[in-house]
Amino acid sequence: MKKKTTYTIGFDLGGTKLAAALLTDTGEMLDFVKVPVDMNREGSATKTQKRVFQLMADIALDFKKRFPKETAAGVFKGVGLASAGPLNAAEGKLTYPVNYPGWKIVPIRDLVEKEIQKQGFRTKVFFQHDATAAALAEGWVGGAKKMSSYAVVTVGTGVGTGIIFNHYPCQTNGRGSEYGHTIVDYKKLKENPDKLHHCTVEGVASGTGLLRRAKEMGFTGNSVEELVDTKDPKYDILYADMAWALACLCYDLSIGYNVEQIFISGGLIKIKHLYLKEMKSHYKKMIHQMNPAFECKIEIAKTKNHAGVLGAGYLPHLYSASSKK
């Protein structure tokens, strides 16, 4: 007897965009939308939260109206939400997320679920760290099928790390996999102890970090795309530092977990020509100095920059609908 196809909706919320998709249980996208989210527009964290949660509910309801059979009871498994952190996946809460200005402890899972249900869509919301969701997606429909331990490094507005260790997300009590916040410039931190975020992998290698550092050098644009388009060689140091920071991160993941492979995903894949080759070279030299037995392949994720939304859509399949998130 042929297995009935089931469906989910996945949301991937980041510091600058919201992506959403209606997915089959094999990871096929029936529809996909991506919209910008300006986290500074209202100048109020509470008002921004209200707008963003309403936007998610509106998108979910639009999917339901346009795909009534796929979102019907019995075949629809739920909504998955992946977000940048830090966060507590078990409790469904954001905990002072770095890229959402002014947001403190926010029970995002329950608030989004309430907003969706208020519009008449009776469904549950399942929640996870965006980079962990990306890692789950890579194991579900990407290059990590049949691997037991691997990592996905998401390079975008921030730098996220999703680690699957012996088949399970590497988290304790809902927290963990925040290696994007590991320190790579302790000298700068020593000089500026209140600027921790500037001294981490994310502070050097993320889109936010690149723009901040470029502006310190005189750049007047507002996006990484504009920065790259300048083709000004004075900014080459930024991409060189980015390659070093990401190489150090991959080194740490390799010696910490002996992962089988590391996958790179996220929006800054589009500028991989500026950092990926050098990153791999630095990583190889470092890991061979330590112990070549820990070396693993580093490749672009097969799920690419759809990893977060695919992983979000996988969450309702992964977690039992009977035990709330």
Residues 314 and 297 in one domain: no
Q: Which residues of 197-237 form beta strands (DSSP E)?
A: none
∠ CA 265-309-256, rounded to 5°: 45
pLDDT at residue 76 above 80?
yes
- Asked if residue 325 has pLDDT above 80, the reply is no
pLDDT over 50 (residue 276): yes
125 and 152 together in one domain? no
Same domain, 102 and 157: no
In a domain? residue 248: yes
- Percent pLDDT > 90 in the chain is 88
| pLDDT score, position 304 | 83
Report the pLDDT value the prediction gives residue 320, as an integer from 0 to 100: 58
CATH code of 50's domain: 3.30.420.40
Residue-wise pLDDT for 238-265, tens only, equals 999 999 999 999 999 999 999 999 999 9
pLDDT digits (tens, 9 = 90+) for 160-186: 999 999 999 999 988 988 999 999 999
**Does a structural domain hold residue 136?**
no
Confidence grade of residue 1 (pLDDT, cut at 50, 70, 90)? low
pLDDT at 74 over 60: yes
- The residue with greater pLDDT, 173 or 81, is 81
In a domain, 323, yes or no: no
Does pTM top 0.75 for this prediction?
yes
Q: Are residues 37 and 183 in the same domain?
A: no
Let me know: does 81 contact 89? Beta carbons within 8 Å.
Answer: no
Asked if pLDDT for residue 322 goes beyond 50, the answer is: no
Residue linked to tokens 């529809």: 31
* Tokens describing residue 213: 């550092």
Asked if the structure places residue 138 within a domain, the reply is no
Mean pLDDT lowest among 61-70, 173-182, 228-237, 275-284: 173-182
Give the residue-averaged pLDDT of 30-52: 94
Mean pLDDT of 191-197: 95
pLDDT of residue 324: 45
User: Does residue 313 sit in the same domain as residue 296?
Assistant: no
The reported pLDDT for the residue numbered 15 is 87
Q: Strands of 76-83's sheet, edge to edge?
A: 29-36, 17-24, 7-13, 76-83, 125-129
Answer whether residue 99 shows pLDDT above 90: no
Q: Residue 206: pLDDT above 80?
A: yes
Query: How many structural domains does the chain have?
Result: 2
Structural domain range at position 179: 143-301
User: DSSP per residue over 132-200, as a string?
Assistant: HHHHHHHHHHSTTTT-SSEEEEEESSSEEEEEEETTEES-BTTB---GGG-BS-HHHHHH-TT-GGGGB
pLDDT in tens, 122-136: 999 999 999 999 999
- Do residues 159 and 60 share a domain? no
